[in-house]
Structure 1
Amino acid sequence: MTLTLVSFLGFTALVAVISWLKTRGDDLGRISGYFLAGRSLSWIVIAGSLFLTNISAEQLTGLNANAFSNGANVMAWETVAALTLIVLAFVFLPRYLRSGIGTVPQFLEHRYGRRMRLVASFIFIYAIVIGFLPFVLYAGAITLGQLFDIGTLFGIGQTATTWVMVIAIGVVGGIYAVFGGLKAVAVSDTINGVGLLIAGLLVPILGLYTLGGGDLFGGWQVMTTQAPERLNAVGTSADANIPWYGMISGVLLINLFYWCTNQAIVQRALGARSLAESQKGVLVAGFLKMAGVLMLVLPGIIAWHLYQQGMLEIPSKPGSEALNADVAYPVLVRSILPPWLTGFFCAAMFGAILSSFNSGVNSLSTLISLDIYKSLIKPNATDRETVRVGQLFATATIAICIVIAPYIANADSLYTLMRTIMAVINVPIFTVILFGVISKRAPALAGYVGLVFGMAFFYLTHFVLGDDLGFVQVHWLLLVGINFLLMLGVMTLVRLLKPLPEPVEIPDTREVDTTPWRYARHASWSLVALFVLVYAALSPLGLTSPSGSFVIVLGVSGVTLLVLYGLYRLIASRLRGKSAQVARSST
């Protein structure tokens, strides 16, 4: 335990010192300096921060638990995210950076008016405070408490352990987010991201080594010959956790919201020194998401095989004979990592938890300061005054979340409320923003009607009717896609009935160099090729079937890419033709 604590404290202190050295000369009294890192972030900081902001205890533990129970099919949450980052790079980022915005609701103001900005800001703030920060604190406290065995170490019970860890995470995370601004958060994210990538990849490597009885490749052979269906990533079976159509209708849309319109994510890209730097960071983050499957899904499958062979003990859920899959990942980590590596891993995990928490706090501070205080309450407030208001509200929010978080264990209604909030708002918000991008004559009324309709429809059909539409029972991921299409239909109807007399043009502030990265398309197609290759390999065409082969995988991947590239060229030529036609008609 001594080695574990020493390596944990050593790496955590190193991150804090480097973050302080990198930000000590920054002017945090300016709005741009505090909330957008002075628009100075490099691609490597953006990529690292995006990667670590997304990964926290609930993902490492939860997604691996799903993989333990359901196999590789759950990897869609990670792999599809890589594709949506391409959409962020080419569709949303150029518009965001040209308009010089600091928040996503600010973009909605440019498109739909000031009231929409306020409505969206309050929705985001409410979701962060109730549906995100307390859960990050609680999940982080439980995970670190198990990895460190805090209860045994200090001789305290589970409740006291949770309180100790919640306070520790909240206080340390608050120091970064409140006093350091976005740049301190992003720099610490990058360092912790490197640590988590190294530590996280060690888990499947040592897991395979253990599974193979001291032979890494022997462990891989066990996975591909014994129950190879656990590696099937394509949801074609009747009991698939994510059916193949759910990847398109649900997982894709939810990821588009998260990576393209979620303030906590987008804010990192907005802090770039140029569009090229931002696109580079975003697309590199896409490759990191693909690599993330090795640490977020593969360990869960390895844990299942180790359990089947009697090499890993997974306890049952309290009061039940069912296995407690939620502890599969921390149990695996404790079993295969030596003490000094366990401490390093815990430090990287601590950094991941802090990253998610810091991101929420920093985004909340930005929304309150820019969208509420400076926009609604005091428009002529100075930069320093605006920053101070954000710091005060962030501090108060941290205190509130620390108090709320431990009670999640005993309050099912609060947990349900948090899940409900995020499920109800994510796709409706994304759809309203997307419609504002593709339709320049849509009035603000289309946004309001679409937002209310989308949130009401999903809440009613999913949480009240239980995904039963009266004539058919549907998977909840399919319901997400139905909601998206209905929203587009409703908003299109409003646009046709009450079109704006003139198209809305988003202003170009020229605050940021918006020259695209010259290799952005090459990187994007490489990412698409990797996605297709991975899914072909982890399908009945490849590893999961005796009839599969490497030749078939390459052939199917090549044909798929040719078809996708042909569709891309066709759509691109149509769009260029339409743009040229609009340009001729306007002259």
Structure 2
Amino acid sequence: MFSGAIFIKVALGLDLYLAIFILLALTAIYSITAFAEVGGYESFTEKYMNAIPSIVEGDNLTIDARCYTPQADSFHIFQDPVSGDIPWPGMILGIFITSLWYWCTDQLWAVPVSASRSSPLNPSSDKVACIVPSECVKQCGVEVGCSNYAYPTLVLELLPAGLRGLMLSVMLASLMSSLTSIFNSASTLFTMDIYTKVRKQASEKELLIAGRIFFLVVTVVSIMWVPLVQVFRNGQLIHYSESMASYLGPPIAAVFLLAVFCKRVNEQGAFWGLIIGFVMGLIRMIAEFTYGTGSCLAASDCPKILCGVHYLYFAIILFFVTTLAVLGISLLTKPIPDVHKTGPKLTKEEEQALRQKLTDTSERPLWKTIVDANAILLLAVVVFTYSYFA
């Protein structure tokens, strides 16, 4: 809220808290409008479950109804452990593990975007929920599906012309900010951590040129990667991003937790644990890109031993394999020397005062009560939400 409000404040010259109010009001109007268009939550759930594309035959294919009919547990948080899009064990453990690496489970758009499939926003559901490959190509240019176009469709259907431009500006600004950060970080990592090891006497100018060249290489690779993203995981971007996190993130999460809670972990264990986890994740990722992830219309040829496990289950396996590798290698090698820095010698009174300061957990009664009350309220809301939607 604060970062968005600053942008509004600078752009329109408004008071900060007025900008926050406007931001919240726009968000509320956007969300409420999505529900109003489909007749409220109960109507929304009913219409979503009945949102079936009108064209379900073609291209000489016999399409099973389960390929275009929403799953019975679509609105459940804890879905079937085998057939669910996000199986409940993966929801509890798999996403938790990937979130330790990077907090990428923000689902704030999930419900409004789902409304774009339902009448009357998209009466025939032929775009967002298309199933026949030739029809999907007509709608969005991709054979595997057009679900990634749900959010833009919702924006264009609901927002008036002025707000459409504002939304486009926001999306472009956030996109460019993210890309700039990623490309600059990648260029810096390559230049300082790799290139300087190869060219130890490189001048500042040479490092600058190397960084710019690598920047261009990353840009080209990113553009070439787009077609893979379009067809990966049945054309569903959320599953693509979550599966990539499941293949690359768990080793980092494992090493991070072990470094915090296990003093015996050393550099050799952490390094080789990361390498083992990275290789395992890379094998799974390469196998899926090579054989494809398949779809309801055509199964993938990827060997079951490599691709037969849901990506969130793979994240759990990868996490524990990395944990065992780190612990095993650490125990077989020398521990990190337990050396502490020596500081100025303190008197007994100074040591006691310092210890009291470091261990003091006293709180102001008013703010303690407010924080406790909010914690209880939030926990109650979370428990209710999980129980209701499970």
Smaller-chain TM-score bracket? 0.5 to 0.7
Matched, 1:211 2:38: yes
TM-score (normalizing by structure 1): 0.42
> Are the aligned partners of 2:114 and 2:150 in contact in 1 as well (CA < 8 Å)?
no
Residue range with higher mean Cα deviation, 368-377 or 220-229: 368-377
Distance 1:339 1:497 in 2: 65
- Once the two structures are superposed, residues 532-585 of structure 1 have per-residue CA deviations (whole angstroms, 9 ceiling, x without a partner) of 634633x5x4368xxxxxxxxxxxxxxxxxxxxxxxxxxxxxxxxxxxxxxxxx
Matched, 1:503 2:345: no
Among 388, 405, 430, the residue aligned to 2:253: 430
**TM-superposed deviation, 1:344:** 0.7
Q: Aligned runs of 1:47-446 on 2, under 5 Å? A: 202-212=29-39, 219-223=40-44, 227=49, 230-236=74-80, 238-259=82-103, 293-294=107-108, 296-306=109-119, 310=123, 314=127, 316=130, 318-320=133-135, 324-368=146-190, 371=193, 395-410=212-227, 423-446=246-269
Letter in 2 for 1:222: S
> Are the aligned partners of 2:251 and 2:278 in contact in 1 as well (CA < 8 Å)?
yes
Q: Higher RCO, 1 or 2 (CA under 8 Å, sep at least 6)?
A: 1
- Once the two structures are superposed, residues 310-368 of structure 1 have per-residue CA deviations (whole angstroms, 9 ceiling, x without a partner) of 27662637525675212121111101100001011111111221232122134335535
Distance 2:372 2:190 in 1: 35
Among 310, 317, 330, the residue aligned to 1:482: 317
> Are the aligned partners of 2:247 and 2:284 in contact in 1 as well (CA < 8 Å)?
no
- Please give the secondary structure, in 2, of the residue aligned with 1:500: coil
> Are the aligned partners of 1:361 and 1:394 in contact in 2 as well (CA < 8 Å)?
no
Matched, 1:536 2:384: yes
Distance 2:162 2:76 in 1: 35
Residue range with higher mean Cα deviation, 239-248 or 336-345: 239-248
- Please give the secondary structure, in 1, of the residue aligned with 2:83: coil
Unaligned runs of 5+ in 2: 12-18, 50-71, 137-143, 234-239, 289-301, 344-357
Unaligned runs of 5+ in 1: 1-11, 20-190, 213-218, 260-264, 266-288, 509-513, 545-587
Change (3 A) 1:389 1:380: closer
Distance 2:198 2:374 in 1: 45
Change (3 A) 1:246 1:482: same
Rg (Cα) greater in structure: 2
RMSD: 5.2
Letter in 2 for 1:339: A
Change (3 A) 1:361 1:197: farther
**1:564 matched to which residue of 2?**
none
> Are the aligned partners of 2:264 and 2:331 in contact in 1 as well (CA < 8 Å)?
no
> Are the aligned partners of 1:440 and 1:505 in contact in 2 as well (CA < 8 Å)?
no
Letter in 1 for 2:248: I
- Once the two structures are superposed, residues 111-149 of structure 1 have per-residue CA deviations (whole angstroms, 9 ceiling, x without a partner) of xxxxxxxxxxxxxxxxxxxxxxxxxxxxxxxxxxxxxxx
Distance 1:428 1:249 in 2: 14
- Please give the secondary structure, in 2, of the residue aligned with 1:503: coil
Change (3 A) 1:395 1:429: same
Distance 2:96 2:155 in 1: 31
**1:130 matched to which residue of 2?**
none
TM-score (normalizing by structure 2): 0.59
> Are the aligned partners of 1:450 and 1:490 in contact in 2 as well (CA < 8 Å)?
yes
> Are the aligned partners of 1:373 and 1:379 in contact in 2 as well (CA < 8 Å)?
no
Distance 1:347 1:222 in 2: 32
**TM-superposed deviation, 1:461:** 5.5
**2:328 matched to which residue of 1?**
493
Change (3 A) 1:342 1:525: same
Distance 2:303 2:369 in 1: 39
Q: Sequence identity of aligned pairs in percent?
A: 21
Give the paired residue count.
309
Distance 2:190 2:368 in 1: 34
- Once the two structures are superposed, residues 427-473 of structure 1 have per-residue CA deviations (whole angstroms, 9 ceiling, x without a partner) of 22332333233333333221232122212333446754958459x95
> Are the aligned partners of 1:250 and 1:481 in contact in 2 as well (CA < 8 Å)?
yes
- Once the two structures are superposed, residues 152-179 of structure 1 have per-residue CA deviations (whole angstroms, 9 ceiling, x without a partner) of xxxxxxxxxxxxxxxxxxxxxxxxxxxx
Letter in 2 for 1:442: V
Distance 2:34 2:86 in 1: 25
Distance 2:44 2:381 in 1: 19
**2:55 matched to which residue of 1?**
none
- Please give the secondary structure, in 2, of the residue aligned with 1:314: coil
> Are the aligned partners of 1:441 and 1:504 in contact in 2 as well (CA < 8 Å)?
no
> Are the aligned partners of 1:307 and 1:314 in contact in 2 as well (CA < 8 Å)?
no
**TM-superposed deviation, 1:500:** 1.4
Letter in 2 for 1:364: A
Letter in 1 for 2:85: N
Distance 2:195 2:221 in 1: 25
Q: Which has the higher helix share?
A: 1
**TM-superposed deviation, 1:396:** 4.1
